[in-house]
Amino acid sequence: MHPLLNGKRRDKLPFEHWLKKSQDGTMMTQTLYEEGMAYAEQNYLDENASHLHVDKKLIREKFNLDGKNVLDFGCGMGGMSLWYATNFDCQVYGIDIDRHHIRVANDLRSKHDVYNVKFEVRNILDGPLPDQYDFIVLNDVAEHIPLPVLKKIFVALCKSLAPGGGIYVSYPPWRSPYASHVQHVVGIPWCQFLPEHLLIKLIEKNNLPIVGDVESDLLEAYKGLNHLTHNKLMATLEGSGLKPVFRKSHSFINKFSMFNNTNLRFFPMDFLVTKEFLLLKKLP
């Protein structure tokens, strides 16, 4: 798979071009809106939501967000932002470049009367953030951002990190069975390793619209992935002022208590890793 967008390499396009679709605007149908609300609500309320239960468990075990100022960067439709705001006595600021995502997030916030969270359409590379944050989260977002842009974002986030604060990053690494983000419609885990032309045909055959201005269907979502790996992520951190202080590589075997803390980071077992978690801190 390669990062193509409308026949051009996405990672070679300027950030302004990457945002152009969102700025021009696309319509969100009522059906998509309702699907987005249902999806975000499940992410918010369901402790066992399939792709978030490990995140929620790890955050509960490792972090106490009470009294913290939390930034949910790339908050999407706000399910996790609302979860932080409800499960901890904290203030949450959720930002995303996609206006459809923020519309759903704000409506879900109003539906559940959660008032310690604010959502906003924002590009942090346009200007500094309005505050300093104790805990910054990039949950299932880093893999969607062109790597040169992600590098700039980490620099900007480091400047907005409060003393002693941390940046929490979670993502499915490229060898994950779910890294393609389309295995649920293609029906094949690890489908990102199929011949490119074959996988594109399978996605096109099963393509579906999704809530979003920047990526409005599954094919665009697939083409927008940056093939993120731990090494690539470490490269984006160079010169950012950040360093990793914690890493967990979650795999299928971690569901067994005796293997709960086992990290499979060696070939070929790393193909069983479903998600990577890192905590970043400012360099001294």
pLDDT tens by residue, 141-200: 999 999 999 999 999 999 999 999 999 999 999 999 999 999 999 999 999 999 999 999
Q: Per the CATH hierarchy, to which homologous superfamily does domain 30-175+227-282 belong?
A: Vaccinia Virus protein VP39 (3.40.50.150)
pTM of the model: 0.89
Largest CA distance in the chain: 52
> Which pLDDT does position 26 carry in this prediction?
67
Q: Which residues contact 30 (CB under 8 A, 6 or more apart)?
A: none
Q: What is the dihedral of CA 276, 76, 194, 273, to 10 degrees?
A: 20
Domain boundaries, the chain: 30-175+227-282, 180-224
> Which pLDDT does position 25 carry in this prediction?
53
Q: Which residues of the chain have pLDDT under 50?
A: 1-24
> Which pLDDT does position 259 carry in this prediction?
78
148 preceded by a cis bond (ω within 30 of 0): no
